[in-house]
């Protein structure tokens, strides 16, 4: 989880039982503390804090922001090269509705060195726009109650290839819409967990682990939070999809293969990515072209080496850029690049030096350029 942002989203109906809602807020406090302790960040909203019929807040953003305000600044275990750890996304109208009793919390969050406030353009209040901004910043979605908005976010995260972990909770939805929010998503995920998230090898059955993630009024909310944090820790890390020369009869193939096995693999793994390359591992689709573009579509990072300037590599690079994937580009020194090097930063490597020196050189370059924003936002 270190270096990843958890997006916590959801709400409760105004008619929700007060005791259950208090248990929910205790759970959120423990969850956020656990996530931060593991080196992860958070994505939340900011604005008003509607109250339920029993006087308990029906949303959980301010409960999370309270924990952030009280956390050490900067928080421990966060990679220094990644931008802000805690991200709040809001509309300008929403910021005008910050409750008076939350002004101190809001001030403490704003003053943090690892906090980012992202504000939608003037006059834009559409919840869908806010969700798209949150999607760009979040790495893992944790759904908790809610309705149509939570369900829409889950679909968008899944389309991006980002894990969605829904909690079974009979909280209802603030707007009384949707098919059941996180409860509905939890039921779907139990029948097809791979469509929502995947666990690292050796972490057990995804369905079995998810089946116990249920909020109950008489349950131990802190124990549930610990169980969920451990599930998040056991998620398979984001994929780094390799676009590279694969033709074994090409004269450049031996050097490209050594570059990926001795340099790219260890650097990607050390940064928390799971390498994915065609021809390695078991195929997931009957047709390779389908699998390639599905992997590109949902990759957490795309590593492109253009040595040999293969047309297929150029097409896959273009697709990754158009999909606004994070992309790092490399080529063997001496390659005639099909684009200006200063327009698309490219690491030029040579098959010389010790593995440690080559890893250090590529790792330093990787850290500088793997967090660049997309060409068009």
Is 176 in contact with 143 (CB distance < 8 Å)? Answer: no
pLDDT digit string (tens) for the chain, length 377 residues: 888 999 999 999 999 999 999 999 999 999 999 999 999 999 999 999 999 999 999 999 999 999 999 999 988 889 877 778 999 999 888 899 999 999 999 999 999 999 999 998 776 556 778 888 899 899 999 999 999 999 999 999 999 889 999 999 999 999 999 999 999 999 999 999 999 999 998 999 999 999 999 999 888 999 999 999 999 999 998 899 999 999 999 999 999 999 999 999 999 998 889 898 876 655 555 455 778 888 888 898 999 999 998 888 999 999 999 888 889 999 999 999 888 766 789 999 999 999 999 999 999 999 888 877 666 66
Q: Write down the pLDDT at residue 286.
A: 43
With contact defined as beta carbons under 8 Å apart, do 8 and 144 qualify?
A: yes
Tokens found for residue 232:
């998040």
CB 127 within 8 A of CB 106: no
Tell me: the pLDDT tens digits for 117-159?
Answer: 999 877 655 677 888 889 989 999 999 999 999 999 999 999 9
What are the structural domains, with CATH classification, of the chain? Answer: 5-233 (3.40.50.450), 239-369 (3.40.50.450)
* Cα 111 → chain centroid: 24
What pLDDT does residue 377 have?
60
> Measuring CA to CA, how many Å separate 359 from each of 117, 188, 260, 305, 356?
35, 42, 10, 16, 5
pTM: 0.85
Tally the residues of the chain: 377
Write down the pLDDT at residue 110: 96
Tell me how far apart the alpha carbons of residues 242 and 239 are, in angstroms, rounded to a whole number.
Answer: 9
Tokens for 31? 């969850």
pLDDT of residue 290: 78
CA distances from 244 to 50, 86, 309, 339 (A): 52, 35, 9, 17
């Amino acid at each position: 989880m270190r270096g990843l942002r958890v997006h916590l989203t959801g709400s409760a109906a105004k008619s929700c039982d007060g005791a259950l809602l208090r248990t929910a807020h205790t759970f959120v406090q423990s969850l956020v503390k656990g996530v931060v302790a593991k080196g992860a960040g958070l994505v939340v909203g900011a604005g008003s804090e509607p109250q339920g019929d029993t006087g308990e807040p029906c949303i959980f953003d301010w409960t999370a922001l309270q924990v952030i305000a009280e956390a050490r600044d900067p928080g421990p275990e966060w990679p220094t090269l990644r931008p802000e750890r805690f991200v709040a996304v809001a509309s300008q109208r929403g910021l005008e509705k910050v409750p008076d009793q939350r002004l101190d919390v809001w001030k403490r969050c704003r003053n943090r060195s690892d906090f980012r406030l992202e504000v939608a353009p003037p006059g834009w209040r559409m919840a869908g726009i806010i969700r798209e901004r949150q999607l760009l910043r979040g790495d893992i979605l944790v759904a908790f109650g809610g309705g149509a908005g939570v369900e829409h976010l889950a679909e968008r995260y899944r389309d991006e290839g980002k894990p969605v972990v829904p909690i079974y909770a009979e909280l209802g939805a603030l707007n009384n819409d949707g098919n059941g929010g996180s409860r509905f998503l939890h039921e779907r995920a139990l029948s097809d967990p791979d469509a929502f998230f995947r666990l690292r090898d050796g972490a057990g059955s995804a369905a079995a682990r998810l089946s116990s993630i249920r909020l109950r009024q008489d349950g131990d909310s802190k124990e549930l939070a610990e169980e969920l944090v451990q599930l998040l820790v056991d998620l398979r890390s984001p994929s780094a999809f390799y676009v590279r020369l694969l033709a074994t009869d090409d004269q450049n193939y031996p050097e490209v293969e050594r570059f990926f096995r001795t340099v790219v693999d260890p650097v990607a793994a050390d940064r928390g990515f799971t390498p994915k390359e065609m021809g390695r591992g078991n195929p997931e689709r009957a047709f390779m072209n389908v699998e390639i573009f599905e992997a590109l579509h949902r990759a957490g990072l795309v590593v492109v080496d253009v040595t040999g300037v293969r047309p297929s590599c150029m097409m896959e690079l273009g697709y990754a850029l158009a999909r606004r994937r994070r992309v790092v580009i490399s080529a063997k020194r001496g390659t005639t690049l099909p684009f200006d090097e200063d327009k698309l930063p490219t690491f030029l490597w040579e098959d010389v030096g010790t593995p440690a020196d080559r890893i250090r050189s590529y790792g330093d370059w990787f850290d500088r350029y793997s967090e660049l924003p997309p060409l068009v936002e």
